[in-house]
Amino acid sequence: MFVDKARIKIKAGDGGDGAVSFHREKYVAAGGPDGGDGGNGGNIIFQADDNLSSLIDFRYNRKYVAPNGENGRGKRCTGKSAEDLIIHVPRGTLIKDARTERIMADMSDDAPHILAKGGKGGKGNANFATSTRQIPRFAKPGFPGESFEITLELKLLADVGLVGFPNVGKSTLISVVSAAKPKIANYPFTTLTPVLGVVRLDEERSFVMADIPGLIEGASEGVGLGHEFLRHVERCRLILHVLDVSGSEGRDPQSDFEKINQELANFSETLADCPQIIVANKADLATEEQISSLKQYIQSKNLPFYLISAAASSGTKELMNAVSEALSKLPPVKIYTPQPLTPEEQIEQFSSRQKFEIEVQDGIYYISAPWLEPILRTVNMEDYSSLQYFQRVLRSSGIIDKLEELGIEEGDTVNIFGFEFDYIR
């Protein structure tokens, strides 16, 4: 099954928590804090793989989570950083943020791309010892790893794209000029998935050609099969527009030409501007009048015109030489540049890290803040300096200001993930 679009969730590993520990050794009094730092969480890395040709694996596995870093330990031992999670995708896969459609990476080269960075490990209590705070009984939690919901969109890396109505001979043409062996039959929509073939003219000249399933009128709006695969033509440097010059299917090739170009323009301005070579196929079935009429019409559009019979391999060599010459004058296959976060997205991303909600029920103030849970886990409520650290977090995040805005009074109960304490000004 050919799958060229998928939506998945990725989550990088969280950093390990810093340790709260004190040195204990015989004959060593007051050894001091020796809690080590937590390890870093694993990254989510995408890698292009030429052995893959479809995104079918992502239809069944939609969530990818990298491992977390290990927590720190005593004796200043740093936790082990987690291994990265490497996800292999077909070459040419475009990765976008599912919510904003922002391009995050174009998997068209061999370089690995880090899509979600693992969280850094938290600091152990050995880092917080000072001349005035010699026994810190708290540590910092690890930072959470980045998480995204993304869409994977495969856009084949081909130099030349074959477009045209069903049964005009595109599959026959690619089977004649390359080693590709698409299914060929005399009925519409024989080609159900894009087919790639490498055309080799000599040792120094070769290019990749893609046979796109036949387009029909309304394809850009979802009619027929071709609309599903128009995205694969977007990277192409050159379009071979194949027409049935004989009208053997009862259609007018001039009308077909206009309709297909309209569908390309409706789908993408890039496709509308892509250079074209017009290929008049099935010349062995056409009359001189049909050939002359179509040639005159195409030349009036200032487009190159080639007459061939793919089934008889007539005129295909001259056509491929012309294609190679045209490609030598065109820029390379389009590579999409990753888009940075907008200022609004940066602000939203920053504010979400300290987002919280407060709900009042029966006089109790319930605080919900996912980022606060790991901090609460590392705080020693029986230690004064640790409590001071926790209070500074509540103050700097705006939680205390919000409690006061809601009218909290001294002695009222505050609940954070099941831990309750009385509010004191």
pLDDT tens digit sequence for 348-398: 666 666 788 898 988 899 998 887 887 887 777 777 777 888 888 888 888
Are residue 151 and residue 170 in the same domain, yes or no?
no
Report whether pLDDT(121) > 90. yes
**Distance separating alpha carbons of residues 343 and 48, to the nearest angstrom:** 30
Residue 278 lies in a domain: yes
Pairing state between β 276-281 and 305-307: parallel
Task: Looking at the structure, tell me whether residues 133 and 7 fall in a common domain.
Answer: yes
Report pTM: 0.74
Q: Are 235 and 158 in contact (CB under 8 A)?
A: yes
Residue where one domain finishes, among candidates 327, 342, 358: 327
Tell me the C-alpha distance between 393 and 376, whole Å. Answer: 10
Residue 91 and residue 168 in one domain: no
Total number of domains in the chain: 3
**Alpha carbons 42 and 315: distance in angstroms, whole number:** 56
Range of the structural domain that residue 170 is part of: 160-327
Ranges 83-87, 136-140, 324-328: which has the least confidence = 136-140
Q: Which CATH number covers residue 390?
A: 3.30.300.350
Whether residue 58 sits in one domain with residue 182: no
Distance (Å, rounded) from C-alpha 411 to C-alpha 425? 9
Q: Are residues 218 and 148 in the same domain?
A: no
One domain, residues 172 and 296: yes
Q: 343 pLDDT exceeds 90?
A: no
338 domain-assigned:
no
CA distance 310 to 251: 19
Pick from 28-42, 201-215, 245-259, 289-303: least confident: 201-215
- Determine the distance from the C-alpha atom of residue 294 to the mean position of all C-alpha atoms in its chain, rounded to a whole number: 43
List Cα–Cα distances, 237 to 81, 119, 200, in angstroms.
Answer: 44, 41, 17
Asked whether residue 246 is assigned to any structural domain, the reply reads yes
* Closest listed residue to residue 5, CA positions, set 66, 92, 80, 63: 92
Domain boundary among 155, 190, 222: 155
Closest by Cα among 165, 257, 163 to 211? 163
342 within some domain: no
Q: Tokens 């995408």 sit at which residue?
A: 46
| Same domain assignment for residues 151 and 11 | yes
Helix (H) or strand (E) holding 160: strand 160-163
Same domain as 121, residue 250: no
- Among 234, 212, 238, smallest CA distance to 323 is for 238
* Chain centre to alpha carbon of residue 395: 38
Please state the rounded mean pLDDT for residues 205-222. Answer: 71
We report the CATH number of the domain holding residue 34 as: 2.70.210.12
Tens-digit pLDDT profile for residues 148-179: 999 999 888 889 988 888 888 888 999 999 88
In a domain, 337, yes or no: no
Is residue 417 one of the residues assigned to a domain?
yes
Asked if 279 and 167 sit in the same domain, the reply is yes
Residues 134 and 33 in one domain: yes
Q: Are residues 139 and 170 in the same domain?
A: no
* Average pLDDT for the chain: 86
Is residue 364 in a domain?
Answer: yes
Spell out the alpha helix ranges (H) of 80-190: 170-177
pLDDT, residue 228, reads 64
DSSP sequence for 23-82: --BTTB-S--B-PPPPPPPPPEEEEEETT----THHHH--EEEPPPPPPPBTTTBPPPPP
pLDDT digits (tens, 9 = 90+) for 227-238: 566 777 888 899
Query: Which residue, chain included where needed, has tokens 């950093």?
Result: 15
Instruction: Identify the CATH number of the domain in which residue 235 sits.
Output: 3.40.50.300
Please report whether residue 411 resides in a domain. Answer: yes
**pLDDT given at position 268:** 79
Output 85 or 197, whichever has higher pLDDT.
Answer: 85
- Say whether pLDDT at 80 is over 90: yes
Residue 231 and residue 132 share a domain: no
Could you list the beta-strand ranges (E) of 305-391: 305-307, 357-361, 364-368
The answer to whether 334 and 238 are in contact (CB under 8 A) is: no
Q: Which of 155, 173, 189 is the last residue of a domain?
A: 155
